[in-house]
């Protein structure tokens, strides 16, 4: 192309939507002789700086896995601290989200959360609903299987009411009823903490997402780590079932 002939590089490829499993908080703290809850507090700070860097890099949507449906089995003290951290973060960061143009939404089973937390979540969602610079989704009490089940229940109810026929149920109909309805599927998935699995996160939406695993625990995750993940994504050839030749313009 002309730009290449003139010695000008193509602009960097930035994923529109990044999903992150923020793993390793507890282990990070234990390795330092600290309570696991200290790791979660440090992880909360890193989540904030990661949102800021996503904005700088031009990411359109960021989805953070904060608390899974399986995390309820953890020690009561640890769960209580996590819930308190959510409340504190909502109170302290709402103004920053608004000023930075971030639209915040929560995905997950809210029925399992306390009434005060549900009220604060709804309040911040409403306050940021007009923002367009970054779509930020925080998964709380979320599980990918739960997400598909609740979408299936909605479809079954619609069929029962006569609003849909069985032939109307296709991939789009399912997608429209999942927690990320209205957003593009994640282009890039990042997991910190050294584990190589997706752990029941966005099972439907990650079908063609590029997966990047980082050995550093979440409290050590930095802008450099984020940039390396984006560089990895930029080097990927995304074929979506096609051949390399087709992706490059061949028949």
CATH number at residue 224: 3.40.1180.10
Domain assignment present for 241: no
Range of the domain at 26: 13-143+185-233
- The size of the chain, in residues, is 251
Question: What is the sign of the dihedral through the CA atoms of 94, 35, 217 and 144?
Answer: negative
Domain assignment present for 179: no
Please tell me the distance from the alpha carbon of residue 42 to that of residue 63, in angstroms, as a whole number.
Answer: 19
Domain assignment present for 221: yes
Active-site residue, 71 included: yes
Q: What is the structure's pLDDT at 244? A: 63
Domain assignment present for 6: no
Q: What is the structure's pLDDT at 241? A: 66
In total, how many domains does the chain have?
Answer: 1
Q: What is the structure's pLDDT at 4? A: 38
Domain assignment present for 7: no
Catalytic residue among 60, 71, 131, 200: 71
Catalytic residue among 23, 38, 120, 187: 23
Q: What is the structure's pLDDT at 5? A: 41
Q: What pTM was estimated for this model as a whole? A: 0.90
pLDDT digit of tens for each residue in the chain (251 aa)?
A: 333 344 444 556 899 999 999 999 999 999 999 999 899 999 999 999 999 999 999 999 999 999 888 888 888 888 888 888 888 888 788 888 999 999 999 999 999 988 988 998 999 999 999 999 999 999 999 999 999 999 999 999 999 999 999 999 999 999 999 999 999 999 999 999 999 999 999 999 999 999 999 999 999 999 999 999 999 999 997 766 655 655 666 66
Active-site residue, 176 included: no
Domain assignment present for 165: no
CB-based contact 49:225 (threshold 8 Å): no
SS (HEC) of 157-178: HHHHCCCCCHHHCCHHHHHCCC
Domain assignment present for 3: no
Domain assignment present for 250: no
């Amino acid at each position: 192309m002309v730009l290449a002939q003139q010695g000008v590089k193509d602009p960097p490829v930035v994923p529109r939507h990044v999903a992150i499993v923020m793993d390793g908080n507890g282990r990070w703290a234990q390795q330092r002789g600290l309570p696991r809850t200290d790791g979660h507090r440090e992880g909360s700070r890193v989540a904030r700086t990661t949102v800021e860097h996503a904005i700088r890099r031009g990411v359109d949507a960021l989805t953070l896995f904060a608390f899974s449906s399986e995390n309820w089995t953890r020690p009561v003290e640890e769960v209580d601290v996590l819930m308190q951290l959510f409340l504190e973060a909502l109170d302290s960061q709402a103004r920053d989200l608004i000023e930075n143009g971030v639209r915040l939404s929560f995905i997950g089973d809210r029925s399992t959360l306390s009434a005060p937390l549900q009220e604060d979540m709804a309040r911040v969602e409403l306050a940021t609903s007009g923002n367009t610079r970054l779509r930020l989704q925080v998964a709380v009490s979320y599980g990918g299987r739960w997400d598909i089940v609740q979408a299936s229940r909605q479809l079954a109810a619609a069929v029962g009411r006569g609003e849909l026929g069985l032939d109307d149920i296709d991939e789009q109909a399912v997608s429209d009823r999942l927690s990320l309805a209205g957003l593009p599927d994640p282009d890039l998935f990042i997991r910190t903490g050294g584990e190589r699995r997706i752990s029941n996160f966005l099972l439907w939406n990650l079908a063609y997402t590029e997966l990047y695993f980082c050995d550093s625990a979440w409290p050590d995750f930095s802008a450099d780590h984020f940039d390396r993940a984006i560089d990895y994504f930029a080097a990927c050839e995304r074929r979506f079932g096609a051949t390399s030749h087709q992706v490059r313009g061949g028949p």
